[in-house]
Every structure is written in structure tokens, then in C-alpha cells.
Structure 1
Amino acid sequence: MAEAILSRLVQQGIYQGSEVLVSEPEPKRREFLEQTYGVQVTSDNPNTLTATEALLLAIKPQVFDTVVNQLEIKSQPSYPLIISILAGVPLSRLQAAFPVYPVVRVMPNTPATVGAGMSAISSGQTVEPHHLSLATSIFTAVGEVVTVPESLMDGVTGLSGSGPAFVAIMIEALADGGVAAGLPRTIAAKLALQTVLGTAQLMQTTNIHPAQLKDQVTSPGGTTIAGVAQLEQRRFRSAIIEAVKAAYLRSQELGHKL
């Protein structure tokens, strides 16, 4: 995820590579990032506190305390915005670790790697409008952005964080259905993928409600209503709802464990 954000920021000219410092423990990864994006690299985490605008935390939640201890946080003339994409680490914990820094918590998702992500931002108590604007500009580089109160972050995780996996399963199932109907696997897979992509683009462009689009495709006594009836009988809609709820509840559990 960190590389996806980095690549888009550099490609879109929001930051020059020379303006970015990446702390990476693996020598081969440091070399790759330096050569690919022209960024500065280091293996020394405290060096990242030289950031003037933003410090992005893209580490495993389990090593959060270790990394914070390495940073040796101390008073300085100005404080960069701390941006955390750590799942399950609340703003209260971030603020306790960075008591004099403005902090935001962000939940992006995997389509960010192709610039089609969805990111939700929650702001800490000391965040000013220009801090939020900076965070928004960074994550707009990888897709769409919404701001939400932190109380909704677990819901965001269940929907847009876990959602790509649910959509992938649906695409796979559509393709399998095509194969069951006699289509070659390669053609079925292409049809399924483009159908989902095209439907999403149509709904985004026209701002049509999902139910309205479904009604437009469903003619009386036709093929689509026969399929929709099966989806309802098999509780497809309920299964998706319960999947999001389960992911939401698991996000809450993980947050309490960390």
C-alpha cells in the first residue's frame, strides 16, 4: 500500500522523488525504491522525523510501539502531520504516541494500487483544515476520499477495506456460472470482469440507484428476473450484508487486541 501511494504521488507530480524519504529495513527494497522512484532512502527510522509536511506510517500494527520508540520523539520547531494507515490502531493511541503532532487515521483499500482506491480519513483533535487538505490531496492521488468520524472506521474496514475480496469472489462466481453455461473459461472470465467494471462505471457516471439499474435490466418474464429470483432464494443479498458485518466485528476485535 505504501508503494502504491508513493508511486502515484511521484507519477502525478504531487511530490518529486527527491522530496520523499523512505525508511525501509531491507537493502534490496531500498535500492529498488531509490532506483524506481528517485526517492531518498534510509534504514534509520529516526531520520524520518526530518519530514516537514507529513510522516506516513505504513507498518504492521504489531510493531507500532517498537517503531515509535525508535523515533525518539522530541520537541522541534514544527511538526509534520502524522498519517497512519495501520488497521486497528485508534487515534487515541496515535495521539498518545505523538502528543504534540497533528494525526490522522486513514483506511485505504487495495484498488489504490491502480489509482482506483477508496480512502476514509478521520482527524485527531489537533488537526487543522490545512492538515486535512494535505491528507486529502495525498490520498486523492490513489482514488476517492471521504472523511468520517473515527467511530465509523470499523464499518469502513468491513465495507471498503474488505469489500474488494467480496467483489473478487462475485466475479469468480460469475465466471464459473458462465463456464457452467458452456462458455470457455477465458471468455467467461473476461465477460464477468468487464460486466462488473462496466456496471460500476455506469452507476458512477449516471449516479443511478442500484435498484433502478436492476429494474432497467429486468424485463417481465425475462432471463434476468429468473436469475434475480435465484439470488433472492439463495439469500445473496443477505450473504453480502452479513459478510460486511462480520468483517466490521472482526475489525473491532482486532482493534481491542492491539
Structure 2
Amino acid sequence: MPTPEDYVRWVHENTRNWGTWQPYETMDLGDIGYFTKAKIFETTDFNAEGLLGKRPRPGAKHEITDCIIGKHRKFDISGYGQGGIASVGSSLTVSIGKEKGCLLYIAHGYTQKLRKVEALLSRMRDAVLAKDWRLDYVLVGKRLVVRDGFAVLFNKGDASLSFTAKAPLAVNQSVEAALKAGVGFQGSSGEVDFYTLSGESTPTFGCAWRVRRDLRDALFGGKASRADVHDLVFGAGGSPSINKEEILSHAPDWLFEKHYMFDALP
């Protein structure tokens, strides 16, 4: 089956955001965590409210409906009746094919970002200098919440999904059109992992602020990649080659980055 690392990579390649493992789990704006060596994001008990002393202010919600994320479009649908019509209640089989991949369907959801992150970045910088912020910590600044939808991970092989039509469907309609018309998931065959998304499910997140990777060694005072993660704080590896005064001479966002590639994890 596709691994958590496969899912995180796929999400990043398709959306430039990061995947939450497992896709149905929830995540709040201002959550703080870190990426493990397996590319899984683990949250901590530390969060933006603890940094600011109050809950951070979220921006407006941007509603999303009937959206499919995924490059795989080579699906075959079978189960249509006479005249190439699937009546309400009839069973349809979607053959995924022989490729490994993922599919994320959002019937109803929204994206939302933190507002005015400058104050947070300033507090994060203070925490770095006070050795209260690990150099691999990440702050979640944006999230996708899916109130109704699903995620599918499928491996190479003859995988398929079974759905019940909730509205009449014509044979020439695409999978996207079928999903928009309404289908109910029944089951799967082959190497498929199916995740129902509802409530506050947060399958992806973004604007993931972290200390710049190119500054880690200088801040740590040694080879940061060789350190135990629990010791990965400012000056723990020796004498930092960037001192406190130089750090404070820059704007807070100089110390952090939010755009980085999958291969730059953790």
C-alpha cells in the first residue's frame, strides 16, 4: 500500500501543501509540531496560544465544494443499465487502474489562514533565543477542513471502488460529475485505503513556518542533522556562528521560512 510518506509527497506535489496523517485527523490553526524522519507531522502540546497568551486570529473561511485533487483521471465506470443510465440506488464500480496514487474529494469544506503572523513570528524568534523552540518545530498557518468528502490511497494492481448512485447518471459522465451528482461509498477491492472525511477533518495544511534550514547549523552551533531532536535548540551544539544581536537586527520573518520542498524534510 502507499505509505504515509507517499501520501505527504503526493499532497505536496499536487497542492504545495502538506498532508496530515491520517487524512481524517484534525488540526487547528496555530498548532505546533515537527516532521519525523518518516515525513509524518507530529503535533506537540505547544501551540500559538501558548506563545501569544491568547488564541491567534484566523482569517475568513473560503468555502470549497465539489473539488477533486489528484492527477489520476484514467478511471473506468461500470454498472450502467439500459440506455447507459445508472438509476438511483444502482451500484457502480470505479476501476482505478494499475497505478499507485491518491485521490482527495471535497464535497463541502473550507480553507482558512492565520491573520497577522508577524506577532507570532516575533514570539517564535524570542522562543528560539530562549531555547524554548526546537529548530525543527513547525507552526501551522493554514489548513483545509473537509466537512464531507473522502481520501483514497491505492497501490499498483487492479483496485476498484464501489458506489451507490444517489442521482441518475449517464454513461458519458466523468467520475467528477458522478461525485458531484452524489454517490455513496460501498466498499473497495484490491489494495485500497479509503478514508471518510467529515466534521473537522484536516487532510492538508500549509503556511508551515519553521526556522530556515540553511541557518540550522549556525544556530545550533554544530551539525544539527546529527543531534537528537530533543537537543535541537539554539547553541546546544557549541558556540552559534550567528549571535543574538545579529538575529535581532533582522525582521522576525528573516529567521523563518514557509516555502520548502518535500526533500527538505524534516
- TM bin, normalised by shorter chain, reads under 0.3
**Scaled by the length of structure 2, what TM-score is found?**
0.19
**Scaled by the length of structure 1, what TM-score is found?**
0.19
Give the number of the structure with larger relative contact order, counting CA–CA contacts within 8 Å between residues 6 or more apart.
2
Q: Give the structure with the larger strand fraction.
A: 2
Q: Give the structure with the larger helix fraction.
A: 1
